[in-house]
Each structure stands twice: as C-alpha cells, then as structure tokens.
Amino acid sequence: MRLRRRLLLATPLLALGAGARAAQAQRVVSLGGVVTEIVHALGADERLVGVDQSSLYPPAARALPQVGYFRSFAVEGVLSLRPDLVLASEQAGPPHALEQLRAAGVAVVLVASSPKVSALESAIDTVAATLRLNAEGQARARRLRQQLDEAARPVAHDGAPPRVLILSSHTGRLQAAGAGSAPDALLTLAGGANAFGQPGYKAISAEAVAAAQPDAILTSTLSIDAAGGLAGFTAQPGIAMTPAAQSGRIIVLDDLLLLGFGPRLPLALAQVRSGLFGPAARGAA
C-alpha cells in the first residue's frame, strides 16, 4: 500500500518534469500517424524533425526523416535527430526503447490511442498542452473537439443499418476488420453494421467473403492500388459474388483515414456515410 501511495504521489511529479522539459520543445519527433496528424491539425508542423513510418498524412510529413515503425522504432534513429520532445502513441514501443529515450534526457509524452471519440479528444488536449500552443493553436484544438462532437452524432436512416464488410487486400491476402478495431468503430459511428463476426483483424477466405453477402465493402486506397484499380478489386474471388460488388457499393478511404481514427474523423465519417446513405448508395440499393 505504501509503495502504491508513493507511486501515485510520484506520477504527477514525473509528468511535471517531462512537461517542464517539453515546455520549450522545438525539435519534436512523432511516433504514430495519428499523433503526427494532431500536430498538423494544431498548426505545429514546423516543430517536427522526424516521424515514424505510419505518418502518411499530411504529405509533407513523408519528406521528414523516418525512425522506423512506431511499435518498433529505432532509439538511435530518434536520438540522431536531437529531439527535445518525443510525442508517442501509447501503443509505441517497445517499452525499453521509450525508457532509453528518457534515460538520454529526452522528454517523452504518451498520447492516448483508442478508437473512441473521448480518447481522440484527450489526445488532442495532451498534444496541445504539451506543445504549449499559442492562442491560435488552442482555438484550433477547441474547433477540432467541436467538429468531433458534431460528427459523432448518430445518423438517422430508415430500416436496418446496411451490412458492411471492412476488407484489406494490399498484402495479397484478404483480411477483415471486426469488433474493437478502428475501422469498426468508424463504421459504427457512420451508422453501418459490421458483417464480420470476429474481433480485431483476421484473415478471411474468399468463400467467407461471399457468404457474408455484405451490402457494401469498406476498403483502403492501398488495397485498391494493389488490385490494379477498382475493377480488379471487385473482380477478386469472393468479392465478385457479393451484393456490394455487384451494385458497386465499394467505399474507398485513404489508409490512415480508414485505420487511424484521428483528427480527420469528421471527414472519414462524411465519406462513409455518403457511401452508405448518399444518393449513389440509394440508387445502388
């Protein structure tokens, strides 16, 4: 009990120490595509000196030095950029790598990562507070939270929600996203029902895709590109036999927009809702 109390007392002090070191941070490394998107949305891009490989947006981020993938980043690569702050998704790691950064005197601040609007709002607040943004940056953070609140309101529609299969095939194998994944949370907020009954990301056979008989398919640009275009994607075994492919209800989002659950969530919801309930969708139904 005493140890737990000491830890509870020490945690705010540790956080304060990291915050103090980060207060004047001008050389920031971002570990996580959503974290990078938040920095961009808050207008603080000029402070970024490095990102990880999942930082696909904004396009300018791809030109920055990369330090590997955020779940398995290279400590040496980060330190070579002489950062005074690392903003890391709470899924970044491995843990000993983060400890090595702290031991080297670099402030490390973890940012919430969960496919929930509340977690995203918390992440925006964390980044804004850590970067000690000016009035314009704080105003951007407030607007982002308002946009998220408005975008997350339930959509009204007649009848049962359309059944949707969330598919990727950019690796050459079909994979579906189920409960607990970011695209599943996006689909639920948009008013659709996931046609895949398993949790997380799982390989799925062509036979199972055909048997699911989804009304629509939600996929990413990389999957479309890997298939040589939309026609090639819909012609794949299993997919070609679905009502979604036969009616042309294939909703395509850029990969980070679909998988990230980041500050562009309002845009992602608008695109999915248009594909499910817009004029084109009504014509296809």
Q: Render pLDDT for 135-172 as a digit per residue (tens, 0 to 9).
A: 888 899 899 989 998 988 887 777 889 999 999 988 88
- Answer for the pair 236, 196: CB distance below 8 angstroms, yes or no: no
The tokens describing 161, both together, are 């929600």
pLDDT (0 to 100) of residue 35: 97
Confidence grade of residue 267 (pLDDT, cut at 50, 70, 90): very high
CA–CA separation, 28 vs 108, rounded Å?
10
Beta strand ranges found along the chain (DSSP E): 28-31, 48-51, 85-89, 107-111, 163-168, 175-177, 193-194, 201-203, 216-220, 250-253
pLDDT (0 to 100) of residue 69: 96
From residue 223, how far is each of 58, 166, 227, 262 by CA, in Å?
20, 11, 6, 20
pLDDT (0 to 100) of residue 170: 82
Show the domains of the chain with their CATH numbers: 28-152 (3.40.50.1980), 163-277 (3.40.50.1980)
CA–CA separation, 216 vs 211, rounded Å?
13
CA–CA separation, 12 vs 59, rounded Å?
36
pLDDT (0 to 100) of residue 18: 54
Q: Which residues is 167 bridged to in the sheet? A: 176
pLDDT tens, residue by residue, 183-194: 999 999 999 999
- How many helical (H) and strand (E) elements, i.e. helices and strands, does the chain have? 14, 10
Lowest pLDDT segment from 11-20, 179-188, 195-204, 250-259: 11-20
CA–CA separation, 22 vs 133, rounded Å?
12
Q: Longest Cα pair distance anywhere in the chain, in angstroms?
A: 66
Taking the CA of residue 272 as centre, how many other CA atoms within 13 Å lie in the half-sphere pointing to its CB?
37
pLDDT tens, residue by residue, 186-238: 999 999 999 998 999 999 999 999 999 999 999 999 999 999 999 999 999 99
DSSP 58-109: SGGGGGS-B-S-GGG--HHHHHTT--SEEEEETT---HHHHHHHHHTT-EEE
pLDDT, mean of residues 78-106: 96
